[in-house]
Structure formats: C-alpha cells, structure tokens
Structure 1
Amino acid sequence: MTERYAALIRPVIDRVYGTARAAGRDRGRAVMEKFGVHPGFILSFYFGLLARPMPADALDSALVYVGTNMADELAAGITVVDDGAWRLTDLGRDLALAIQDAAAEGAEELWARAGLAGVPRLAELVGILLAAGAPTGGPVFAALTPVFEPADASPALSLLSRLGALRHHRADAHKAAWAAAGLTAAEVRELGDGPVRDAIEADTNRRDAPVYECLTEDERLELLAGLGALAG
C-alpha cells in the first residue's frame, strides 16, 4: 500500500515544490544581485545548511547528477570546507537567510490563491514524515533534516523547507536503487523506458515507502489531497 502511495505522491510533491520555488525566483534573483553572487549550493540546500554543515559525502551524493563546481562558492566567500564538511560563512548565512525569506514569500503568494488555511496542517504532516524518515533516509536526507526554521517561521516557510528536505528521501532511495542495479549516474541519465527503468522505479518506491508508514491512511489521503490543491 505505501509503495503505491510513494509512487503516487512523488509527482505531486515535486510539482508543489517546483512551482513554489519558481514563484519566488524573481525575489531570489534580487537577493543574489544584492549580494553580488549567484550560488547554486545555498540556493538548493539553504534549509539544511542553516542548521548544520553538510558532510562531503552528502554533497557528492546531492550533486551526482549535476556536477556543480563548488570553487565559485568558495571564491565568493559564502562557503568554507571545515573538517571535510561544507559550511556557511557569516556572509553565506546572511545570504541563505535572505534566500529563505524570498522563497517563502513567493510560496505564500502562490499558495494564497488556493487558500492558506490548510498550509499549517500540511507542514505538520510533512514534519512528522521528516522525523520518521531518519532510519531509512540516505546521506543527503540526513544532512538536511531537521530543517532550519526561525522562531517566527510562517507556515508557508515551514512547508516549503520541509518539502525540500522530504524530496531527498526519495532522491536518496533512487540513487540506492540504480546503484544496486549496477548502474552509474551517467547510465541512468541515458536510460530510456523499459524493464530496467521499471525495476529501478519499483525499487525506489520500495525504499521510499517506509517514510509514509508513520501516517494513518486518512492522514496520507489528507496530505495527498492538500498538496494536490496547492499544486494547481
């Protein structure tokens, strides 16, 4: 049951998160212009980096598909390597906080069109999932949770950050699935439809499913329907 649910909710989570981040893109660009830098690392992982450094193995796993060059962010003085882990400098922290606010404002503006009344409950449910995912999450999920939330965090900020982290429970599961199948990241990118792809997706669902077992069936339906309403 939860394996089917994991497959069903994945595109909904991706759509909600993706459209919300897109809604804050102009605000984010303004922040980056103000700071004079164009980071990728902080932009993608601010909600974890504000809480703790990211271990090198988690960063390598997070960037496995994109191969981002971190030299630019080191040169900009927004990150440093400390005992093998990547952490924010004071400048990087200020930037990350500003990016967080910009992203949350964009999400809140977008989600207000569907009504914000359900957002606190959705944030609560996703928070339950993040706590429950610790035993089954991979290195990136572990590095990003619990997410950083300021004391005055709006429900929209909390939901956006928590969804950002939750996506990596499945992303870690997917990497584990194709690695178990003996494939590389490059081979997965080139993989078309067919039995190999289907087997990897089924294994990904199996590995991702345990995170949803902490919710009752009614709560899983509530989460799916609530996120679906926000997705538009």
Structure 2
Amino acid sequence: MMVSFAGVVRPVVDRVHVSLRHASVPGVSALYGGVRPGIEVDAFYALLDHPVAESALAARMVYFAFDPDAEEARGLVARVNGSWELTGAGRERVLGVDRVFTEAAERLWSYRPIATMPGGEAVATAAGLIGRLLEAGQASGGPVFRALTPVWEPPGGSAAQRLVARLEALRHYRADAHRAAWGAAGLTVAEVQALGPGAVKDGIEAETNRLDDQVYEVLDEGERWLLLGALGALADGLSAP
C-alpha cells in the first residue's frame, strides 16, 4: 500500500502547532485583556511582511464566522485597495503576540527531560527543512498559501521564532489542498463540515494528501525522515484534562 508522507506528517505538524498555541494562551490573553483576538493573529506572520488580499483571507476563514466590517472596526487591521494591512496599533499588538509565541516555543522546545531528546538541535533542523518546503510551495501551492507567504522573520531571530512562523505557513499549504479537494467533490463548506466517516470523506482525505504531497517532493527520503523525527522529538507540554 502506498503511504502518503503528507498524511503521516500532518498530525505531527498539527500537534506541534496546537501545543504552541495552547501554551501561548495566557500570554496572548493578557495582551488582549481577555478580548478574543481577531484575524490579525490568524495571519500576522504574513501581515507583518506584506498586505494580504481580501479574497485570500476570506478563504482562510471559510470555516469560521467572519465579519470583515467588525474586524476592521477593532482598529488593528484595515482594508486598503483590496487587501488587508495592519494598522500601527495592530502591528504593535502582533509584535507582542510574536514575543509570546517565541517565548513559549523556546520554553517548550528546549525542554529535555532525558539526554536523548535533541532540544534546540531539532528546532534548527525542522526550521531549515520547512524553509525549503515554503520556497518549493510557491510553484505548487494554492491561493491562500501564496498570499500568506513569505512570512516575516526578523533579522537575528531565533530558530524557534523561525519555526513557529514557518509551521504556520506550511499548514496553509495543506489547508489549500483540503479546500481544493472538497471543492472538486462538489461539496459546500457546510456539507464538508457535516461529513461523517465513509467513502466520501476518505476520498477527500486521499485527494488532500495527494495534493499536499507535492510540496514534500523537494525533500529526499532521508530529509523526510529528518523532518518527521525533528518535529516528533519536540516537547509539547500537552496533557489530558
């Protein structure tokens, strides 16, 4: 049976990403005074680098309740000539979010309860390999991925800071693949969200993996093992409730 590398690595990428976001909740909540963050946090690594087309951000938010007028009224992002941009206040706010994310990442990923865990070495390995994936994805990625890359990376930033931003961007590549797969199957957003187990859902997942696998073709087999091992070695701090 042919095994999809994208299908294997996807839950590992998601675990690392979700655990980092989870660890950052207290710090982000403090920055926002308990108010729920908006789209400036969903796309800030791109917005710090360049304006993002309205259509691309709407597609990014297709699974969620998204009110552009309400987002703009918060004063952190603004629509300018068909694109979203950060306001001055928005830029200051998301730079604070970046600091929270980076501090959480460095705390989690440097944790080595036993000597065989690689810590920072794995972070640097994963960041480098994912950087190559993002470059390769410019040729094969979907519209949201292309709109949300390149990501902002400050000069002199740590490997952990780079990995946080690059992981976020890599997940957009798969998200585009998933939207393309269920769209080709003739489903609406509501229909795909309501899908239960079965042939239709399995088919969409298989097509998503097929499209997502394209970006990993830039890596040879050994590099794929390195990426999977590096991400899998990172401590996540998650625990069952």
- Provide the residue aligned with 2:188 in structure 1: 184
Q: Give SS of 1:80's match.
A: strand
* Partners of 1:225 and 1:211 in 2: CA distance: 18
* Partners of 2:68 and 2:108 in 1: CA distance: 31
Q: Map 1:7-156; keep pairs closer than 5 Å.
A: 7-33=7-33, 38-114=36-112, 115-156=119-160
- Provide the residue aligned with 1:201 in structure 2: 205
Percent identity of the aligned residues? Answer: 47
Gaps of 5+ in 2: 113-118, 237-241
CA deviation map 1:80-112 (0-9, x unaligned): 111111111111111111111111111111111
1:73 Cα deviation from its structure 2 partner: 2.8
* Partners of 2:87 and 2:195 in 1: CA distance: 39
* Partners of 1:225 and 1:22 in 2: CA distance: 22
- Provide the residue aligned with 1:167 in structure 2: 171
The 8 Å contact of residues 29 and 35 in structure 2, kept in 1 or not, is answered as: no
Aligned length: 230
1:2 Cα deviation from its structure 2 partner: 9.0
The 8 Å contact of residues 177 and 204 in structure 1, kept in 2 or not, is answered as: yes
Amino acid at match of 2:66: T
- By percentage of residues, which structure has more helix? 1
The 8 Å contact of residues 52 and 87 in structure 1, kept in 2 or not, is answered as: yes
- Provide the residue aligned with 1:226 in structure 2: 230
CA deviation map 1:149-190 (0-9, x unaligned): 111211111001100010010000000000000001100000
* Partners of 1:146 and 1:2 in 2: CA distance: 32
* Partners of 1:157 and 1:71 in 2: CA distance: 31
4+ aligned runs moved over 6 Å, structure 1: none
Gaps of 5+ in 1: none
* Partners of 1:30 and 1:3 in 2: CA distance: 43
The 8 Å contact of residues 21 and 107 in structure 1, kept in 2 or not, is answered as: no
Q: Give SS of 1:151's match.
A: coil
* Partners of 1:57 and 1:68 in 2: CA distance: 12
Q: Give SS of 2:11's match.
A: helix
1:231 Cα deviation from its structure 2 partner: 5.2
The 8 Å contact of residues 122 and 234 in structure 2, kept in 1 or not, is answered as: no
